[in-house]
Each structure stands twice: as structure tokens, then as C-alpha cells.
Structure 1
Amino acid sequence: MAKKISAAVMLFFAVMMAHGTVWAGEPVSIDTGTTSWMLTSTALVLLMVPGLAMFYGGLVRTKNVIGTMMHSFGAMVIIGVLWPLVGYSLSFGHGILGGLVGWDPKYFMLQGIDDTIMASHIPEYVFAMFQGKFAIITPALIAGAFAERVNFKGYLLFIALWSIFVYSPICHWVWAGDGFLFNLGAMGAIDFAGGTVVHISSGVTGLVAALFLGSRRGYPSNVTSPNNLVMTLVGAGLLWVGWFGFNAGSAIASDLATARALTVTQVAAASGAFTWLIIELVHHNKATSLGVASGILAGLVAITPAAGVVQPSGAFALGAIAAIVCYLGLMLKSKLGYDDSLDAFGVHGVGGIVGALCLIFFIRPSWMADAAVKAGGSWTVWQQLGVQATAVGITVVYAAVVSLVILFIVEKTIGLRAKENDEMSGLDHSMHSEQGYGLINPN
């Protein structure tokens, strides 16, 4: 009997440690340095949301600037409520329904982690809030694909359902200790900070939504130029700054891995912007501010899954490759004629796929050596490519199918596509009874 009890106790604590937490009674102390960095990273990732609002808001027409920026702030509100309520539990609780999603009653309203210190020596509150910022910005990214043509109430319902039924399951698969993609192959699918969880899921959903809702009325002949590229550039700068918390914070540490992630983030962003600039100079003989901003984002998106496994040389390559592929993707969009308004798929979806797959060619040798040991002999780049392709494929299919179902439900209930009169008069007036600028007849 004593042996059975002892075995049960050992199993319980093994599960708790695998999940990354222990009870406060365990001899785990808080590392104040790591905790301070994680608090800073949490704030930096939240800064990305108003940065995204500015980036998107500057790209639309004057009559839609407030409506577009409200998509980002709406995500802060809706997901800010859902995440502590159920989102954290669905994402990082123990697997249920065959591992489709997580759940742990103690995570409901975060009521059971008041004294919990994680194995990484930070309060679990900090980790929960850090991850919550990822959950906020992901649906906000989607809004760029259908900007200027959605009902705000429908949008809020859509992102609420999407967060529960798309984001949380994918997050659990990739980042939870018992997630099946986390444990796929020798070392699991590589997604250091959200290539699949954030960028591919949002980008693919954006493409599906853009196709489902159709183009903006008058597109492309009557769609005018961005209303404020100055604001867009400031938004891009805020995103770049926030991305250091996004990537380096995902080390959940303050050590060598953190320094590596921060360095490659800087290198990839600069490489992406430089490459896009050169492409435009060659292709159009002019370099645009929007092109530089797009190149920055392409490099940042591509390095996101790879930030923990590549060296600066790999970051240079990934930033450049992502810029080239995303540039070609935007050209293809023009030829195919679909209306991904602000290139949510063209940059985030395409860049995320590029980063998740191409990182295998630049993996640090020591990482591959560790993978070989864990595999019990050998582990090749091509085997890891298979793991990466599996993770990308599953994410694409799941996000596309479930998002389509949610889009259909929202459209048939409270409506998602804005009515013609509302769209023509502008979202600022029709959805919010406001104007972004003090103009009598904004257009």
C-alpha cells in the first residue's frame, strides 16, 4: 500500500513539473532578475497592440481609421476578458478530448495559481499574463485582411469564438507540455515564439475571411491610398520594439537563450527591411516607406519561430528570404484579385510559413546534436523538416476549416459583413459615430 501511495505521489509531481509548475510549498524560489525581464517582456508585447493599431490605421482610408484601430483595441478588451476566464486553461491546462485542447479547473479565472511558482522561477501569474498578450495580438492581426468592410459587433463575436476554438487548441498543441506537436519527433515542432501559433493561424484565417466576405465595394478601382503613412511608420517602429519582448521573452528566462533570441530578432528585421528596399529600388527605381515597413515585418515574422535555434547568419538569411517571398506573394495577390486589405496573409501567413520551414537549414549544430541524442542515435535536418511541415500543414488546415465555420455562424446570426450604406459612409461614422480627423467630408 505504501509503495502504491509513493508511486502515485511521484507521478503527480512528475506531471506538475512537466507542466512547468510546482506548489508554493516546494523549495522553488523566485528569480527576481528573470521575473523583471518577463514583466518587461509582457509590457513590450502589449505595446505591439497599439503599434499594430497605428500600423493598420494609417493604411486605410480616412473614413475608416477609427474603425480599423478599434479592431486592435477590441481584441485587447475581448481577449483580455476571455484569457483569464478560460483561455489560459484551454491553452495550458492538461489535455482533454484526446488532446484537442487543455483544461484545468484551477486555471478558471486564474484562481488556483495565487501562490504558484514555475520551474523557471517566476510566478505563474507572470507567465499567464505574458501568454495572454500573444492571445490578444493574434486575432488583431486577422483584422488586417478584412479591414474597411466588417460590422464591429460581428467582429467582436468572431474573435471571441476564434480565440476559443482556433487559437487555444493550436497553442495547446504547440506549447503545452502534453501537446502532440510539442512532442512530435525527437524535439517537437520548433516554434519558439509563435510562427504557427500566431502568424500562420492568423494569416490563414485572414485569407479565408477575405475570400468569404468578398472584396471591399469598389475594389480595386475605388480604393484610395493610405491616409497616414507617418502613423504607419510609427506603428511599424513600435512593433519592432515590442518584438524584442515577443521573441526574447519567449525564452522564459534571462540568460544566453534570451540574448540569442534578442540578437537574431534585430538582425532578421534589419535584413528583411534591407532586402525589401533593394527589391523596390531594382523593380521600381524607388524605395517606399511602406516597403521598408513591410520588410521589417516580414523579417520579424520569419524569425519568430526560429529565434531559439538559429545564429545571426541564419537570421540574415531568413529575413532576406521572407522579404523576397512576401514581396512575390503581394504581387500574386494583385494578379489573383482577392482583397487581403492590409496583407495579413501576404506578410504574416506567408512569412510564418517561410520561417517555420526554412529555419531547418540554419539550425544551430548543438541543437541538432541534442536532437540526435534524444532520438537515440541520429536525427537529420530532413526529419526535422518533416516535423515542421506536419505542424504547418495541420495548423493551416485546422485554422482554415474551423475559421470558415465560425465565419459562417457569425455572418448568419448577427452579421459580419458591413451593410453597403455603412461601408460607403465609413466605419468611423457607421460603427462608432466618430471621426478620426476633424474633417467634414472624410474619404
Structure 2
Amino acid sequence: MVNVTSTENGDMLTYYDVDGTPTPLIYNLGNMAWIIVASALVFIMIPGLGFFYAGLLRKKSALSMIWMSMAIMSVVTFEWFFWGFSLAFSTTSSNKFIGNLDNFGLMGVDINPSTGGTTLPQLLFCIYQMMFAAITPVIACGAFADRARLGPILIFTFCWSTIVYNPIAYWTWNVGKGWANVMGGLDFAGGTPVHISSGTAALAISIFLGKRKGYGTEQLAYRPHNVAYVVLGTVFLWFGWFGFNGGSALGANLRAVQAMMVTQVATAVGGLTWMFWDWRLERKWSTVGFCSGAISGLVAITPASGYVGTPAAVAFGVVGGTACNFATGLKNILGYDDALDIFAAHGVGGIVGNILTAFFADSRVASFDGSAPIPGGWINHNWIQLGYQLADSASGFGWSFVVTLILLFAIDRIPGCHFRSTEEEEILGIDLAQIGEEVMVIPLLHDFVNPEQGAEIHHATGSTDAKFSPAHSEKDLEAQAPSASSA
């Protein structure tokens, strides 16, 4: 039985066992309310990412990105309940790499103080961190776009969350236990566990799957099919990121406000920076360029958001937007097909953010929530911090890349679990081939011209034999139905 009462001012009063002695603990309801809201804000980022990816792709594969965002979130939710939270945040593990199964099935996850600190109960901390765990593979799995079967992706998600995300989250955020945390690495909201791990996994996926059909030809020289989706996704991500970074303060305090301020500044500057770089080449003020830069700014400021002052956020936006913009050219240099530039935005952006944190981390800002002071970064003459940040980044990069490749090879060899779709499915589109639905049905003129003359009407049949499937071109339709087109 959980013993919970209230204090005179309405805060939650409970008792938990410390060496056999009931010890009183007060949870501030304001802190709890903020983290509840922050959890919902991070949740809204998940479909936001789906819309962002969908808008960037061709219409025939757009729905699969939105579907994937929700399906992957559901898989990770179960994995987190099953053993994910225990592997990442158990408090009784004796090693520095991964947790144990003492909290298997969320056993004992209730009113006790959280792994992140005594300001929150463990149950609330669990659901907040669940949202982080859920969005990370959604970021990575965008690399499957246009050319992968959806069923094996769900198997991959469960395995990847278990043996890639959970260990990295443990060594980064499990206070006093994870090796990077003990070493002194600074990662406020997920530079390594979320962005470097997912961006690097996307690189591994792109290399493993190979290039899409028509890569390097005019066939794939397409514009994003729906820029409005890109903007909508960016708005959801930007909005939700206030909970992503601000909530990582684990309380309603000045540090949370500071994290939200630097998030806003870095995002705005990142968007403008990328847009200016694109204008230099094309003399156009690209909407997609601005949105891509905004995401780069968000990624770069993530590990530093609770450690840096507002002026430093400008540097994160400029350097993050510039580095990620130029990193999109890596796929041409190295010869891999990262359809959505996930490695450039999240892998490179996360590394840049971690490194800049070493320069700009300020012990004064870190104490805005009243916590114990940190040595800070180069601003505080703590020169060794750069080494800590590089070690953390390299470890996350290496672990994610190697284990992701191993998982891909292993799952791909299970009968019926091969990742790559057939050539016919790629031509038709993943939406119709794998889901049987489309993100948007736009009937063609041929569907309405003299149907009494025998013109067949087919919508989203999921078959390459459909005479009027939207996956076919106008010329194909005219060739197949001359009577309808000449009437």
C-alpha cells in the first residue's frame, strides 16, 4: 500500500523506505504538473516527426512515415513497460553500462523518488522518459523511407530500443551509476541517447538497405510532395521541444525557463542560418530550408539547454545550422542514400551540440534549479570537459552504428523478415504496397470523363494492374484509356 497524504499547502507527502526506516518525502505539485505537461508536449513531437518526414517524400510513400511514427511509438511503449525502463533507469544495478530487471514490468515503479532526483516520483519520471524512448527510433527509422517493408521495422524497433537506446540512456542519465554520468559528461536532454544514436542508426540503415530505385537519376530529383506537411511537422516539433528540453529540468524552476529560452533562440537562428545558406546557392528563400535549419538548431541545443546562457544559443544555432547544412553533402561523397538527411540533421547536429556544450556550459546556469554546482565547460576554465564530451559522443556513435548493423543483418536473415521491398513495391509506393491506403486521394480527370463509355474507376487498389491507380502517370492513363481521354 502506498502511503500518500497532503501537506498544509497541498503538496504531496509520502514515506519511502530507507534502510528499513520510513522517511518522509514531499513532492511539489507544481513540479509534477509541469512534467505531466512536458510529457504530453514530447508526445506531440512523435506525429509531428511523421508529418515532417511525410511532407519531404513523394506522395506514394508519405503515409508510411505517419503510420510508422505511431506504430513505432506503440512498440516502444510496450518495450518500455516490459523491461526498457528497468534497463535504462533501475537504481539497483551494480554495473556502469546497463541496468538490471528489478523493475521488470514496472514493478516497484510508483511513489519512490525518481532516478533523476527526488523532485519527482518514479512513475512520473518513467512516463516522461518513455516519450524520449519512443521518439528516438522514430527519428532513426525514417531512413527506411521508400524502400523497406514495415513488419520487420517493428521487430527492429523493439530490439534496437532494448540493446541500443537503453544502454546509452543508462550510461548518460542514470545518476551516479552510468559511466558517462560518473565521468562528468554533460547531456541535459539527449544529445547522445536521442540524436547521435538515432542519426548514426539512420546512417547504418541507409548503408545496409542500399540506394533506392532510380537513385542519382531524374526519377528521384523530386520536390517534397507537401511543404505544408513539412511546416506542420516543424511546428509540432518546435512546440513539443519546449517540453523536451524544459522538462529535462525535472521541475518548474528557473532552469526549465532558461532551457526553453535557449531552445527558442537556437531554433530561430538555426532556421535563418540554413535558409541563408540555401539562398546563397539558389537565390530563393526556401521554406523547407528554414524548417530543416530549425530542426538542426533544436538538435544542437538539446544537450546544452540546461547548461548555457542565452547568448551562447546564437552560436549553437549558427554552427548547428551550418554544420548540418553542409553535412547533407556527405551522402554524395560517401555514396549512401539517406533520403531524409537524418544523419546530417541528428547525427552531426548531436555531435556539434555535445562539443559546443564543452565550450559554453556555465556552472551558474546549471545551478538555476538549486542543484549541486557542476565544473562547467571552458567558460569556467574546465578544459577537460571537451574530452568528456568527445568520449561520450564517440561511444554513442560507435555503439549505435555497430549494433544497428548487427541487428539489421540478423533480422534480415529471419524467414519472412527481409527489410528490402521488391522493385514492384518501390514503383507502386510503400503506401499502397504495404498499407493499402494513401495519405491523400486526388481523383484524376480521367475518373470523371464519360464513365458511361466504359472508363473504369479505380482508387488506391494497391495493385499495379489498376487502370487508374494514382501511382501511374498521366501518360500511362491516356495510353490505357484512349476512348476516355479523346472524348
- Could you say whether these structures have the same fold, taking a TM-score greater than 0.5 normalized by the shorter chain as the test? yes
2:431 alignment partner in structure 1: 428
Equivalent residue letter for 2:72: A
Question: Measured at CA, do residues 176 and 319 of structure 1 come closer, stay the same or move farther in structure 2, by a change above 3 Å?
Answer: same
Residue 220 (str. 1) matches residue 216 (str. 2): yes
Q: Gaps (5+ residues) in structure 1?
A: 1-20
1:407 alignment partner in structure 2: 408
2:240 alignment partner in structure 1: 242
The question of whether the paired residues in 2 share the 8 Å contact of 1:62 and 1:436 is answered with yes
The question of whether the paired residues in 1 share the 8 Å contact of 2:306 and 2:366 is answered with no
Q: 1:85 deviation in Å?
A: 1.1
Q: Which has the higher contact order (CA 8 A, sep 6+)?
A: 1
Q: 1:337 deviation in Å?
A: 3.4
The question of whether the paired residues in 1 share the 8 Å contact of 2:327 and 2:344 is answered with yes
Equivalent residue letter for 1:93: S
Question: Measured at CA, do residues 23 and 54 of structure 1 come closer, stay the same or move farther in structure 2, by a change above 3 Å?
Answer: farther
Question: Measured at CA, do residues 79 and 372 of structure 1 come closer, stay the same or move farther in structure 2, by a change above 3 Å?
Answer: closer
Residue 145 (str. 1) matches residue 148 (str. 2): no
1:383 alignment partner in structure 2: 384
* Separation in 1, partners of 2:301, 2:153: 29
Q: 1:120 deviation in Å?
A: 3.2
Residue 337 (str. 1) matches residue 335 (str. 2): yes
Judge which range, 53-62 or 328-337, deviates more: 328-337
Equivalent residue letter for 1:435: E
Deviation string for 1:324-372 (max 9, x for gaps)? 1111111332344321110110100010000001222222253799445
* Separation in 2, partners of 1:162, 1:202: 10
Count of aligned pairs between the two proteins: 415
TM-score by length of 2: 0.82
2:357 alignment partner in structure 1: 359
The question of whether the paired residues in 2 share the 8 Å contact of 1:368 and 1:380 is answered with no
Equivalent residue letter for 2:182: N
1:442 alignment partner in structure 2: 471
Q: Gaps (5+ residues) in structure 2?
A: 1-14, 368-372, 443-468, 473-487
* Separation in 2, partners of 1:247, 1:368: 13
Percentage of matched positions with identical amino acids: 36
Deviation string for 1:285-335 (max 9, x for gaps)? 111111000010000000000001111111110111011111111133234
Q: Which has the higher helix share?
A: 1
Equivalent residue letter for 1:70: W
TM-score by length of 1: 0.89
Match of 1:29, SS state, is strand
The question of whether the paired residues in 2 share the 8 Å contact of 1:120 and 1:252 is answered with no
Q: For the pair shown, which has the larger CA radius of gyration, 1 or 2?
A: 2
* Separation in 1, partners of 2:402, 2:94: 19
Deviation string for 1:382-429 (max 9, x for gaps)? 300000000011111111111110010111111111122222211111
2:451 alignment partner in structure 1: none
Selected match of 2:44 from 44, 47, 50: 47
Match of 2:331, SS state, is helix
Residue 181 (str. 1) matches residue 180 (str. 2): yes
Residue 417 (str. 1) matches residue 420 (str. 2): yes
Selected match of 2:286 from 270, 282, 288: 288
Selected match of 2:186 from 183, 190, 197: 190
1:60 alignment partner in structure 2: 57
* Separation in 2, partners of 1:302, 1:429: 36
Q: 1:283 deviation in Å?
A: 2.5
| Matched ranges for 1:244-259 at <5 A | 244-259=242-257
Q: 1:115 deviation in Å?
A: 3.2
Equivalent residue letter for 2:396: T
Q: CA RMSD in A?
A: 2.1
